[in-house]
Structure 1
Amino acid sequence: MPKIKFTFTDNYQRGMLLVENRVKYAQRLDTAPLSSALKRYVVERSYLSDDENYYCFELFDSRLERRLEFRSVDELLSYNAQVGDFELFIDKFTVVPLHHTLIVGQTGSGKTYGVYSFLLQMLSKPVQYHLYLADPKGSSLSILGDMIAPDCTAEDVDDIVTLLREFNDEMDKRKADLKAKLATKLEASYLDFGFNPYVFVFDEYASFQSVVQAMDKKHRDEVNKLISQIVLQGRQLGFFLFVVMQKSDSTSLPTMIRDNLPLKIVLGNAEQQTYVTAFGTGVEIPSRDFRKGEGVYTFPRIANTPKLCAFSYLDFDINAAFRAKRGLCNNPRSSKGA
């Protein structure tokens, strides 16, 4: 028999199972459904140890509640204060660095609440986040934008394209500022020099793309160039794109753009093709009945295969919470922040 080791953390809510690697067990361990033999524990992801002598299986207690529940804005702010200035939390076990993000899910899956959670966190950080909000359907995000960033919110497609141009203009200015500083510290980023982040949140991206595809080639190429520049150059400069949509197939979201959105979240009980377009082929999705706001995500170094996540339950007046943040999103047109 191979050597077997168990370790547990968080009062036995999470654990690690190590199974010694043996030639005769290798293929069987790659596909073994170990969760069925672990009582209440479930395998979240598996991989080989660095020396390839052990198979590592990350476990969690299936009875635990991942979701955070906030009864007031103050509770959310208190929890957010424990997270880094350039990090965002999703649930009790998931904190991710600020980066380009894709959020996918059908109507009713909890996408909107996920965006609310992220935006409230951004507006509550001690550093200032410059927010740009695009909502081609003119729904809740545009209403929210009118509260916190009216000069950086757009619904009409032409206005959204103008907003993208302005976002890229700010990015070009940052590029010039950062280039002057990189002479003192190569391979540094906006974080190393105290620059504030810029975030462009794009709701219902497929609706926008359907209108863009009907434009002439010159305008289509311009839009694709503007978005491509953000995802390809933005990370080092501190400019990030958040794309929210129901499906992320290549007809709605170009493959190059999707592949350069490192944080990918799929909420709700999605179709298999939705998981394939978001995460790629051959990826195993945990078999669960996802409630609203629950789903899976991937992010380099944290979750190379889909891991479970659950956005917070916000049990307070969300409109009042955002109204209280009115004016905290600095408008670069009228006041030049860092």
Structure 2
Amino acid sequence: MIKNFLGNRFGLYPTTRLMDGLKIYSLMIFLLIVGYIFFPLYQEHAEQQFVETFGIPILDVEVYQSYIFYSIIIILFIIILRWTIRNKFSFSNYVLHFCIRQAMNRSHFSLDNKETTEFNLTRYKPPKTKLKWDNKERKTGKLFIRNRSDIEKGLEKINLSSELNGYNVETNYLTADNCWYVYELYALKTAEKKTFETKDAFDQWSNEANQYELRLDDRTTQKLMNTVIVGKTRSGKTYGVMSLLFQMQLKPIKYNLFFIDPKNSDGKTLGLGFAKENTIYETGDGNFSDDVLQMVDKYYQKMIERQNELNELINGRMALDYTSYNLEPHFLFIDELPSLIEGMEKKKQDQLLNKLGIISKMGSGSGFFIILIAQKLNAKVLPKETQENMLNKIILGNAGNQTYMTAIDRVEDVPKKNYDIGEGIYIDDKMSKPRMVNFPYLKFVDNIKRLDDVLKKGVDNSGDTNKSDH
């Protein structure tokens, strides 16, 4: 009856835990019936007759009822103790585990591991699950499900996100010993776009990262690395880059910035605001291509000087880089790289791409990075070797398949979502699948309108904090 009711009504099958629970609660109900219904009726109507006929002693009903009452209390105490230990004293943990078991129950792969009880009732034994949180706030964590050969394919394909209350599965993989499937979770509230009304609020948020890290959103903090930011018009690229630049400006160590903008647009505005002396843009004088090559060569020469400096400091020791000696990082921002490439002669294109390839390959260890900004990405714009050295790829908005293929190789790994402004995916050198990113909305920029005024206000509010003279 239980099997038919659950299976027909909810698509579920009784679990071992459910059946064991039914047995325990049935026992407690039976004891209550005996103690508080049968014993009083027996004492009132049949006790004297049984005593005279069979010599059964008179029962002290209150004593037996107290035995039954305390037995039930002990059983309930054991049940509650086991529940709290199993769920780590957290009701939300229980809810998540319950949702997970229900999801595995509804996906009938779990019936591959079933057994028939003594009542001829089919039930399944769900695999063991564990939850490990990355922080006390439970913003992110990992769900471990015990792998078995009979359910491995099911664990690989199961969609748990739809069943988890307030959480989403970002990626899943097998542990090295193939014993556990790991599902990385994040709280949906952490994926919501963060809005900063004031520069001070943004500063406080960004200061949670160290001097060689940048925050992308509430749950993602990255070390400095070569980055590609791709997105169509109004996808949020400018605000994303601006968020990174404001963070660089706040660091206790100087960030040396260089900007190239072939279209005289946002890249120029940002460059003149943050590093006026190191910004070039198309002025129509016919020398822009030469100016670009000259700046990239200047950046390259600085990188070589830094490498020579580092070699003397390291002196043959291993696993050390520019961060070990508190050296200043350098960033070369190139806005609209495809437009820049298309506007150059073939020979100059080759010179530029060759230098960018060398910098992307050799510069990270010495603190020299490139951030490329483009509306689309393909192999014609950026050679494959250089793409592989751009360890961090951020794609904002809804991009085309070619862009996804170029950046992450597998379109099917992109989370299916209608991405809003500032939303998208990212993948870095430590990830096998892309994850979602949601750059904050810098409302204080809209309120003040002019970038120069924002930068001036930031200095006025915090004293002389602009250590890098951007």
Asked whether the two chains share a fold, i.e. TM above 0.5, the reply is yes
Change (3 A) 1:129 1:110: same
Question: Equivalent of 1:182, from 314, 337, 345?
Answer: 314
**Mapped pair 1:266 → 2:405:** no
**SS where residue 421 of structure 2 aligns?**
coil
Shift of 1:324: 5.2
Contact 1:85 1:125 in 2 (8 A): yes
Letter in structure 2 aligned against 1:220: Q
Instruction: Give the structure 2 partner of residue 29 of structure 1.
Output: 155
Change (3 A) 1:181 1:13: closer
Instruction: Give the structure 2 partner of residue 336 of structure 1.
Output: none
Instruction: Give the structure 2 partner of residue 313 of structure 1.
Output: 441
Q: 1 or 2, which has the higher helix percentage?
A: 2
User: Aligned partners of 1:139, 1:310: CA distance in 2, in Å?
Assistant: 23
Shift of 1:309: 0.9
Moved beyond 6 Å, runs of 4+: none
Shift of 1:147: 2.7
Question: Equivalent of 2:404, from 275, 291, 302?
Answer: 275
> What are the ranges of 5 or more consecutive residues in structure 1 without an aligned counterpart?
332-338
Higher deviation after alignment, 72-81 or 2-11: 2-11
Change (3 A) 1:248 1:88: same
User: Aligned partners of 1:39, 1:78: CA distance in 2, in Å?
Assistant: 30
**Mapped pair 1:245 → 2:374:** yes
**SS where residue 304 of structure 1 aligns?**
coil
Contact 2:401 2:411 in 1 (8 A): no
Shift of 1:177: 0.8
Letter in structure 1 aligned against 2:225: H
Instruction: Give the structure 2 partner of residue 129 of structure 1.
Output: 255
User: Aligned partners of 2:259, 2:296: CA distance in 1, in Å?
Assistant: 10
User: Aligned partners of 2:300, 2:393: CA distance in 1, in Å?
Assistant: 23
Higher deviation after alignment, 29-38 or 99-108: 29-38
**1:187-266 maps to which residues of 2 (within 5 A)?**
187-212=319-344, 215-217=345-347, 219-266=348-395
User: Aligned partners of 1:226, 1:325: CA distance in 2, in Å?
Assistant: 35
Contact 2:190 2:218 in 1 (8 A): no
Bigger relative contact order, structure 1 or 2 (CA pairs below 8 A, ≥6 apart)? 1
**1:270-309 maps to which residues of 2 (within 5 A)?**
270-281=399-410, 283-301=412-430, 303-309=431-437
**Mapped pair 1:322 → 2:437:** no
Instruction: Give the structure 2 partner of residue 168 of structure 1.
Output: 300
**Cα deviations across residues 138-181 of structure 1 (Å, max 9, x unaligned)?**
10221222233222101133222211011011111111111111
Instruction: Give the structure 2 partner of residue 97 of structure 1.
Output: 223
Contact 1:283 1:305 in 2 (8 A): no
Change (3 A) 1:77 1:153: same
**SS where residue 37 of structure 1 aligns?**
coil
**Mapped pair 1:59 → 2:191:** no
Higher deviation after alignment, 58-67 or 103-112: 58-67
Identity among equivalent pairs (%):
30
**SS where residue 432 of structure 2 aligns?**
strand
Contact 1:41 1:62 in 2 (8 A): yes
User: Aligned partners of 1:64, 1:174: CA distance in 2, in Å?
Assistant: 39
Q: 1 or 2, which has the higher strand percentage?
A: 1
Contact 1:148 1:328 in 2 (8 A): no
Letter in structure 1 aligned against 2:432: N
Contact 1:102 1:242 in 2 (8 A): yes
Letter in structure 1 aligned against 2:455: F
Contact 1:134 1:142 in 2 (8 A): yes
**Cα deviations across residues 257-308 of structure 1 (Å, max 9, x unaligned)?**
111111111111112222111111365111111110001111123x331111
Question: Equivalent of 2:274, from 131, 143, 148?
Answer: 148
Letter in structure 2 aligned against 1:31: K
Shift of 1:51: 2.7
User: Aligned partners of 1:61, 1:166: CA distance in 2, in Å?
Assistant: 45
> What are the ranges of 5 or more consecutive residues in structure 2 without an aligned counterpart?
1-125, 282-287, 460-465
User: Aligned partners of 1:292, 1:82: CA distance in 2, in Å?
Assistant: 24
Contact 2:253 2:467 in 1 (8 A): no
**Cα deviations across residues 156-213 of structure 1 (Å, max 9, x unaligned)?**
332222110110111111111111112153331111122100000111111011123x
User: Aligned partners of 1:3, 1:85: CA distance in 2, in Å?
Assistant: 41
**Mapped pair 1:4 → 2:133:** no
TM value normalised by structure 1: 0.90
Shift of 1:88: 0.3
Contact 1:66 1:91 in 2 (8 A): no
Shift of 1:329: 4.2
Contact 1:149 1:329 in 2 (8 A): no
Letter in structure 1 aligned against 2:442: L
